[in-house]
Amino acid sequence: MNRKKTYTLLLVITVIGLYFLEKYIAKNNIKFPTENNKKYQTNTPKSSGEFNGAFMPKSTTGAIVKHNFYTLSYSEPNEQAEWVAYTLQKNHLSKNELDRPYFQIDKKVKTRSADWRNYKNSGYDRGHLCPAGDRRFDYNAFKETFLTSNISPQNHEFNAGIWNRLEQKTRYWAAKYNGVYVITGGVLKPNLQTIGYEKVSVPNYFYKIIADNTNGKIKAIAFLIPNKPLSNSFYDYVVSIDEIEKQTGIDFFYQLPDAVENKIESSINIESWGKN
């Protein structure tokens, strides 16, 4: 074999090797340290992620964990959060390109959150509840979304499709209304399918509740969407908050005055959100 053919063969082998190495790294959650994120490590105050107390849901488990940039209620039997709540302010919206961190066990969960390896070869995505895309304004905030208490098994087409579109719409509303409150999670019921050695439950449905409190005028919209491939609009899955409470057993806006709570949770008013 002449030298030119030898170099060509070595180049092909190298390219193929790099391709499979990249696949292995992505599949096994391997991330190499980088300095690229330092410019996004800002002095963002911890209060930037605190959730307005009036909209804080009740916990059915008593395992509330407060992080700097979101709050959650952990369900140990299901090895995931029953809800994650956070404020998405207009000044949180950013397109910063940040390097993907490792997934890490949440040490603030007393019973320890599930290891990310439960998801490996499960056929399900490690779906963020507080999206990483909502926390690109600061690397520490972004990194915090990679705690395993903030993920839940999601069908890939669901995660990359209708759920992603709803997350983008939520950012649109955050910009339009100068900030919104978001509560999201999987519907956790007995006898769900599980994945991994820790038996992480696979929700059949995911919900998202978005509330706006512009000038003291409170409105909310709620979605209950099957965890499967869907091609139709997320508006087809608008429900009342009462319906999500019925499905989850969670009391959401219990700290609001009864008359306000009852009105918001029982009504469906897509028009007030400017459906388009």
| CA–CA gap between residue 200 and residue 37 (Å, rounded) | 31
The reply to whether 128 belongs to the active site is yes
- Residue of 67, 92, 128, 156 with catalytic role: 128
How does DSSP assign the chain, residue by residue? Answer: --HHHHHHHHHHHHHHHHHHHHHHHHHTT-----STTGGG-----GGGGPPPGGGPPPPSSS-EEE-SS-EEEEEGGGTEEEEEEEEE-GGG-----------B--TTSTT-PPPGGGGTTSS-EEEESS-GGGGTT-HHHHHHTTBGGGEEEE-HHHHHTHHHHHHHHHHHHHHHTT-EEEEEEE---TT--EETTTTEE--SEEEEEEEEEETTEEEEEEEEEESS---S-GGGGEE-HHHHHHHH----STTS-HHHHHHHHH---GGGG---
Q: For residue 161, what are its two tokens?
A: 């499709």
| CA–CA gap between residue 223 and residue 184 (Å, rounded) | 9
Contact of 192 with 199, CB cutoff 8 Å: no
Q: What type of residue is 233? A: S
Mode of pairing for the β-strands spanning 194-195 and 64-66: unpaired
Active-site residue list: 128
